[in-house]
A and B are shown apart, each in its own frame.
Chain A
Amino acid sequence: MLIVINGEARQVAADATLAAVLQEFGVPERGVAVALDGAVVPRVLWPDTGLRPDATIEVLTAVQGG
């Protein structure tokens, strides 16, 4: 199925968890946070979180700014 991660469409397995998709994306160990379909998902819940088709994932980190 197709999902969107940080604005990029990706093909993932229908039973892929959020943790698996994020690992493939290359998410660092710390300093990031993830929203799935507009809601924050704490890191501890990533392995138990499934995805629906067309799910939208945002992976954010701190950058220079402000």
Chain B
Amino acid sequence: MDDPLVIAGREFGSRLITGTGGATNLAVLERALIASGTELTTVAMRRADAGGGTGVLDLLRKLGIEALPNTAGCRTAAEAVLTAQLAREALETNWVKLEVVADEDTLLPDPVELLDAAEQLVDQGFVVLAYTNDDPVLALKLEEIGCAAVMPLGSPIGTGLGIRNPHNIEMIVSRASVPIVLDAGIGTASDAALAMELGCSAVLLATAVTRAQDPERMAAAMRAAVEGGRLAALAGRIPQRFWAQASSPGRPLE
């Protein structure tokens, strides 16, 4: 079935966006990325060591996977904007996963700084994919100021707690006219499937795969879950009922 994910006019065959953080080494990451079927993967921006290489970029280039720079680690709009500008220069892409977190314990987005940074980056011509709280009000504001995709969390980064407020995600999806990507908190395949069943356009995950006991196998599981969840969402589930409803007609001896 031809059902591409479209962000800012660009088509992706896979609705699974991955991260590259947390893998023990590049060989493990490579196998996981291939198994995931992803076409878009985040990378972080950090100080280059003297003479240091760019191994992860070389790997993504080899696999034909688009690198999506993020602003992970930024706490203020100013930091995030500069980091995005550096990423644009280093990676020759104007796409950015905007991430502005408030503190180390929660890693929750700081909504004030996030909105400020998003506005600046949209004004500067960036394609902004904004990592946000599962707040339907903020999600709509991010869309209105021009974000290309809005990416609400299921639960805090790296927790694997799944989608703590499915109703919020449904509310966000129901009003959105840009892709909604469930980002953060995915623990296992059923979480990814649920995200898609709730109507999300894609899922972004890293830790659930890279820190799984078998990253390659979990990547394959996530791929199947995203595809299954998407199909279920398009197929239209049956309404939930309180009492049972037989699927066979009548009774045999009546």
Q: Does A43 contact B (CB under 8 A)?
A: yes
Q: What residues on B are CB-neighbors of A60 within 8 Å?
A: 45-48, 83, 86-87, 90
**What separation, in Å, do the CA atoms of A40 and B126 have in the docked complex?**
15
Are B56 and A64 in contact (CB-based, < 8 A)? yes
Determine how close the nearest CB of chain A comes to the CB of B109; give it in whole angstroms.
14
Cβ proximity bits A5-36 to B, threshold 8 Å, 1 near / 0 not: 01100000000000000000111101111110
Are B54 and A61 in contact (CB-based, < 8 A)? yes
Are A38 and B82 in contact (CB-based, < 8 A)? yes
Are B206 and A66 in contact (CB-based, < 8 A)? yes
Stretch binding the partner chain, chosen from B4-12, B15-23, B218-226: B15-23
Question: What does DSSP make chain B's interface, helix, strand, loop or mixed?
Answer: mixed
Binding site for A on B (CB under 8 A): 19-23, 26, 29, 42-48, 50-54, 56-57, 67-70, 72, 82-83, 85-91, 97, 99, 206
Residue of B nearest to A27 (CB): B48
**What separation, in Å, do the CA atoms of A35 and B45 have in the docked complex?**
13
Instruction: Select A65's contact among B26, B43, B53, beta carbons within 8 Å.
Output: B43
Are B47 and A65 in contact (CB-based, < 8 A)? no
Instruction: Select A66's contact among B20, B47, B89, beta carbons within 8 Å.
Output: B20
**What separation, in Å, do the CA atoms of A28 and B55 have in the docked complex?**
12
| Given the contacts A28-B48, A42-B89, A64 and B82 also touching, CB distance less than 8 Å | no
Determine how close the nearest CB of chain B comes to the CB of A26; give it in whole angstroms.
4
**What separation, in Å, do the CA atoms of A7 and B87 have in the docked complex?**
19
